[in-house]
Amino acid sequence: MCELLGMSANTPTDIRFSFSGLIQRGGRTGPHSDGWGIAFYESRGCRTFHDPTPGYRSEVAKLVATHSLKSRTVICHIRKATGTSKVCLENTHPFTRELWGRRWAFAHNGRLKGIKRWPLGAYRPIGTTDSESAFCWLLGRVRERFPTPPERVQALSAYLRQLCAEIATTGTFNMMLSDSRHLFCHCSTDLTRLTRRAPFGKARLIDTELSVDFAQQTTPRDIVTIIATRALTHDEPWQAMGRGSFTVFRAGRRMRA
């Protein structure tokens, strides 16, 4: 299985600390050595990096880990290939597509039996993963239901919740999806979250000898929520997200459904 990392913040925030922990699981402290990718939103733009090599020794990952690319919304994925989908660039998450003049990013952990046989609409997969097929199906259904953006995000969230529940009937669907403004998360089995806000303290990564004092890098107004498959740090109050849950974050805060 793969692992996911997401961030929602109310101010452009550096994710290098969390990324430095997760990427170690890409072949060094974990078996997820079949590629990795990350998407950073910058206003309406989306900067992406992908590499089908193990993350812990990827030169591209070293670039991301050593350069401060601040963002309000981030989605990251480390891959453990399953089934018959080969290890290659086109099968590396996050996948992206355009809808309503926005770049949508998607990453998934789990296996979905038979999803590739579901009829598709406006979007087609480039690679061979069940994940990308699910993304194309999901975004195509959203496009059919809402040819233009709905006035209320609650209407979109309710429909996405319904679609995610339908996909989850085929297998494990731990998912992160963003339209640059919101971070939508569906948990089938394993997702956990942590919100950092004032008063900020210190944190130490589980997978590598790295610690940080967030009080030295933040302001009292900052709110940053990190979502991951498994906790990334020691001694912080990570909270498991319920199985079957669908959660929306914006500007670091959990939105009401």
For the stretch 18-53, pLDDT in tens is 999 999 999 999 999 999 999 999 988 999 999 999
Lowest model confidence (mean pLDDT) among 18-27, 79-88, 109-118: 79-88
State residue 52's pLDDT score.
Answer: 96
Cβ pair 4, 227 in contact under 8 A = yes
Residues 58, 197: Cα–Cα separation, whole Å: 32
91 pLDDT more than 70: yes
State residue 85's pLDDT score.
Answer: 82
Closest CA to 254 of 6, 43, 13, 75: 6
Calculated CA dihedral for residues 167, 38, 78, 3, nearest 10 degrees? -50
**Considering the entire predicted model, what is its pTM?**
0.96
Residues 47, 42: Cα–Cα separation, whole Å: 7
Tell me which amino acid residue 103 is. Answer: R
The chain-wide mean pLDDT, for the chain, equals 95
Residue 63, H or E segment: helix 59-66
What's the CATH code of the domain at 37?
3.60.20.10
Domain carrying residue 49: 3-254
Closest CA to 35 of 78, 99, 4: 78
State residue 193's pLDDT score.
Answer: 98
Number of domains in the chain: 1
Q: Is 164 annotated in the active site?
A: no
State residue 257's pLDDT score.
Answer: 61
| pLDDT bracket for residue 254 (50, 70, 90) | very high
State the catalytic residue, choosing from 2, 46, 76, 136.
2
61 pLDDT more than 90: yes
| pLDDT bracket for residue 82 (50, 70, 90) | confident
Strand ordering across the sheet containing 233-234: 211-213, 202-205, 233-234
pLDDT tens for 193-236 read: 999 999 999 999 999 999 999 999 899 999 999 999 999 999 89
**Percent of the chain surpassing pLDDT 90:** 95
State residue 235's pLDDT score.
Answer: 87
Q: How far is CA 163 from the centre of its chain?
A: 18
